[in-house]
Amino acid sequence: MAGKKIKLNTRVSGSSLMEVLVAMILLLIVFGIAMMIFANIARTSVNTLELQARSFAEKELEHVKIERSFTPEQTETDSMTINREVSFLPKQPGMVEVNIRVTDRQQKQLAEIKEQIRADETH
């Protein structure tokens, strides 16, 4: 540019309206596809809160197995509530069904574990 002289009153070649519209439509299609891919990945990826809730539920189940504490209990953490429900099975004496459910503050269920444990078993 430094060595070129500027010519006044000359026409500069540019894109026609049709070319600009085609380019805009192609960009719109590409960005639309990219948004669909991003939304699909964001929707199907595992939520870190759900992973943390699953970990809390597994720890609570291990606590029940070790401590042999077969009583219903509700525990609050910073962002979650851990509900432990215990039911003795009438058709299977000596067996206890433990249901651990982890919910968030809006009562949306994040994780649930159900397991049957022998109540009369010692460690």
Residue among 99, 94, 123, 95 nearest 111 (CA)? 99
CA distances (Å), origin 72, targets 46, 86, 98, 115 = 29, 6, 9, 14
Structural domain boundaries in the chain:
14-45, 48-118
Tens-digit pLDDT profile for residues 25-46: 999 999 999 999 999 988 877 6
Q: What is the mean pLDDT of residues 106-123?
A: 83
Q: What is the mean pLDDT of residues 74-96?
A: 88
Quick one: pLDDT at residue 3? 67
Highest mean pLDDT among 20-24, 28-32, 89-93, 114-118: 28-32
Tens-digit pLDDT profile for residues 104-113: 888 899 999 9
Compute the mean pLDDT over every residue in the chain, rounded to the nearest whole number: 86
Rounded Cα distance, 73 and 114, in Å: 15
Examine the pLDDT at 122 and tell me if it is beyond 60: no
Quick one: pLDDT at residue 2? 62
What pTM, to 2 d.p., does this model score?
0.60
Task: Write the CATH number of the domain with boundaries 48-118.
Answer: 2.20.25
DSSP classification of residue 99:
E
